[in-house]
Structure 1
Amino acid sequence: MNVKGIHHLSAMTGDAPGNVAFYTEVLGMRLIKKTVNQDDTSAYHLFYGDERGNPGTELTFFDFPVIPKHIPGLGSISGMSLRVPSDAALAYWSERFSAHGVKHSEIQAFAGRRVIFFEDPEGQQLSLVSDETNAGVPGGTPWERSPVPVPLGITGLGPVKLTVRNPAGTLAALRLLGFTEKSRVPALAEGQADIIIMQTGEGGSGAEVQVEPRTDLSVGRLGYGGVHHVAFRVEDKEELLAWIEILNREGLRNSGFVERYYFRSLYFREPGGILFELATDGPGFVTDEPFETLGESLALPPFLEPQRASIEAKLKPLHTKR
């Protein structure tokens, strides 16, 4: 039993309005769910994705305005990537980034694909990866009302980079989930070991993790501009419960079953200190809102609905363009 690929990534922002503006107006992703952090309902939890937030397309942000800036380092998710359909799409994005003042690299080759590295306004480290020659886990469908033309739009999540001091434990955890080594690429930092490329399921950019060993860094400190956790796809609740048994058998402390309403989850830290989540492909985001109006209103799962008045009183209104 293997995980199928990347389900979602959850990052940190200190500026919810600016975050929405960048990810919807510049990157052209759809805000598919405006809800709250279920463990701290004073904070927004914003979900972006393809037209309906299919698994493997979801990039999410917790909004904590008072947190400090992220300090990169060991035990962190140090890079996120977003998929686009082709090399021609990368050329479009290079021009778009320049027009919008987005800090970005030239189009270059990395780990067998053409990529553009860029930052969001809070310093979040991202890249766009071309699926020109990619096989494997299929991407999603960009929203037709996006400001970015659909044939050039973002189709989902690509490879995730993990930075650790000793890769052995991280690699063992990934192998337990069904990942196997695909290749190695030269380190991005001088004097460091090769980056180890791991893949699972059908493979391709939507099922890839890059493990970067570093001996020249201190431990990172999570803040705005950093990534909280990475989630991997499992089919359904029954499979998730089976994974709980596997983790317990392996001696990996975990959260056990967690009901998130839009999907079901469990959480554990791999030996390098990075938080992993396993999340089911369903039920999905149209369970409590029509497809046509996803993300337009504050959505709360049924177990938080009785607290709506007190929750809304603690949140600053967040207006989005449509």
Structure 2
Amino acid sequence: MTKSITGLHHVTAISGPPQANVDFFTKLMDQRLVKKTVNFDDPGTYHLYYGNHDAEPGTILTFFPFVGAAPGRIGPGMATAYSYAVGDRVFDDWLAEMRARGSDVSAPVERFGAQVATVMDPDGATVELVSTPGDHGPAQGGFHGVTLWVDDLGPTQRLLTDHMGYAETGHEAANGEERLRLKVPGDARGTVVDLYRKDGAAPGRQGAGSIHHVAFRATDDADQLDWRERMISAGMNVTPVIDRQYFNAIYFREPGGVLFEIATDPPGFTRDEPLESLGETLKLPEQYEPIRDRIEAILPPIHA
């Protein structure tokens, strides 16, 4: 039997100026700012993490907010949307509340038997809300899944089904577009991946409003190393393990071009600050502490 990924760990995207991003996700989407740190490869830029109150894997959305970022353009070879699970008993109330706060929320449409509404974040990125059984909001429900746009569904599908434990649960096609739904077993958050294809699509471009990568869960370091060997055996060019302070990470591009990460659940976001005060102060990895004053002078102030 093929070993299965548990579900999504986090999704990382690119935005423009950080304050608008913070306001949208904390005030409109009811997310908690659970970590305020910097891009480890570019410490003059924030790395902001949002999630539920307990900062659990499967609820974590992160952003690199580049103040002068040019707009991105979604297209093949990119993750194009992430979706939150919203309880069906409160789904209509959530849409009404978001509209009351001035957000332009679409009328729901049916996709694979569930109601799906969309809202655009300040950089024009699509945020999906999927009606699922229960009475949870988007922060508590966490991710429902992600959509990957690829030119050819087959190679990406085979990686996910033959090597990562996903199974096909639905297919929809109309007007030169098709969507294939894949799901891993279990009741974890973020178990759904949709593969999307469209005739005559132009290439995408990274920038503000685009998704940088999609991260899946590994239970611990040993599980991650096992996944690394499995992905290498599947023909993927996988990085060595990289310490990201709150998890360890490995990266590779799947056959359709989307950047995948497999991240460990531990040590988690309470590694350097207590749960009750997550996200309140700027946290830096050890290598940047000696230049904290210079970093803080560069970063624009933000208020959550």
TM-score, with normalisation over the residues of structure 2? Answer: 0.93
* 1:213 Cα deviation from its structure 2 partner: 1.6
Corresponding residue for 1:179?
A: 166
Overall identity of the aligned pairs, in % = 38
Corresponding residue for 1:259?
A: 243
1:150-299, aligned counterparts within 5 Å?
152-155=137-140, 156-175=142-161, 176-187=163-174, 190-192=175-177, 194-202=178-186, 206-299=190-283
* 1:14 Cα deviation from its structure 2 partner: 0.7
- Cα RMSD of the aligned pairs, angstroms, is 1.7
1:28-47, aligned counterparts within 5 Å?
28-47=30-49
2: CA distance, partners of 1:48 / 1:167: 31
Where in structure 1 are there 5+ consecutive unaligned residues? 134-149
Bigger mean CA deviation after superposition, 96-105 or 216-225: 96-105
2: CA distance, partners of 1:244 / 1:234: 10
1:50-69, aligned counterparts within 5 Å?
50-69=52-71
1: CA distance, partners of 2:254 / 2:138: 33
Q: Cα deviations across residues 51-99 of structure 1 (Å, max 9, x unaligned)?
A: 0210000011111112211112111111111122x22321112212221
Corresponding residue for 1:115?
A: 116
Corresponding residue for 1:145?
A: none
The structure carrying a bigger strand percent of its residues is 2
Moved over 6 A (4+): none
2: CA distance, partners of 1:55 / 1:309: 31
User: What residue identity is the alignment partner of 2:78?
Assistant: S
User: What residue identity is the alignment partner of 2:14?
Assistant: M
Aligned length: 300
Q: Secondary structure at the match of 1:288?
A: coil
Asked if the contact 2:9–2:215 (Cα under 8 Å) also holds between the matched residues in 1, the reply is yes
2: CA distance, partners of 1:105 / 1:71: 20
2: CA distance, partners of 1:151 / 1:243: 32
Q: Secondary structure at the match of 2:251?
A: strand
Alpha carbons of structure 1 residues 171 and 153: separation in structure 2 relative to 1, 3 Å: closer
User: What residue identity is the alignment partner of 1:26?
Assistant: L
TM-score, with normalisation over the residues of structure 1? Answer: 0.88
Q: Secondary structure at the match of 2:170?
A: strand
